Amino acid sequence: MNGFFVSKNICIFAKFSKFNQKIKIMKKILFLTIIIIIAISCDTETPKLPITEIASGYCGAQGDNLTWVLTSDGALTISGNGEMQNYTLNDDFVGSAPSTTAPWFSYQTEIKTVIVENGVINIGSWAFAFCSSLTSATIGDGVTTIGHRAFSDSYRLRSVSVGSSIAAFGQMAFSNCHSLTVVTSHALTPPTLSSTWMLQGVSMNSTVLRVPAESIKLYQEAHGWQNFRRIIAITAQQ
């Protein structure tokens, strides 16, 4: 009788062992399946949304000689040939946030980067002031002057690059751009500054000024520009 129970227990134990082995195999398969799914999902790129136009219009001193286009990626592009219109500060801002007459100002929280193409020869006064989401500006080789308060109070602006034809900066052009960390000037001759207030509120100790290698000494001695503590050469990629 005892032999019968021993034999039966052995049989039960064997079945339990096989069942336990199946569970272990199933766990391994499940684990491998999860790993494969994770690997596939990580390798799959999230589809990019198409860039679309949000708004556009004219901004030239002669009307339609310049065009502005704002796209869904936050890029405001100015293109065409000739002068840009000058803008002003609205008179009715008392008790509310200041605003300007620039045609894109109603989208100022959506503008992340400004691109001024080569045919444009100036940037108008107050053009990009108070653009609270603006982080970078690239100004083409055709621009010779940047107007009064053109970028003032765009407090998230981190980098500005101006082309080789830039000759003059208007008063307080970049005042209160507290986040500015890099200014790149491709001009061989240091542009004229209407006053040292051009960069009021910008740290001259930490902001890097990048210029053509052969012009470093000129910038180090030029009025206003000599206040930058870090003046370095532009590299090929910049």
Residue 168 pLDDT > 60, yes or no? yes
Domain ranges of the chain: 1-47, 53-233
* Single pTM value for the model: 0.78
107 vs 26: which has the higher pLDDT: 107
The CATH architecture annotation of domain 53-233 reads Alpha-Beta Horseshoe (3.80)
Q: What is the dihedral of CA 233, 219, 178, 87, to 10 degrees?
A: -110
13 band by pLDDT with thresholds 50, 70 and 90: very low
What is the pLDDT at residue 91?
A: 77
Three state DSSP letters for 124-182? CCCCCCCCCCCCEEEECCCCCEECCCCCCCCCCCCEEEECCCCCEECCCCCCCCCCCCE
Residue 135 pLDDT > 80, yes or no? yes
What is the pLDDT at residue 146?
A: 97
% of the chain with per-residue pLDDT over 70: 78
230-233 and 208-211 strand pairing = parallel
What is the pLDDT at residue 212?
A: 97
What is the pLDDT at residue 126?
A: 97
Question: Per 3-state DSSP, what percentage of the chain is helix, strand, and coil (rounded to 5)?
Answer: 25, 25, 50
Residue 185 pLDDT > 90, yes or no? yes
Q: Per the structure block, which two tokens stand in for 86? A: 């000058």
201 band by pLDDT with thresholds 50, 70 and 90: confident
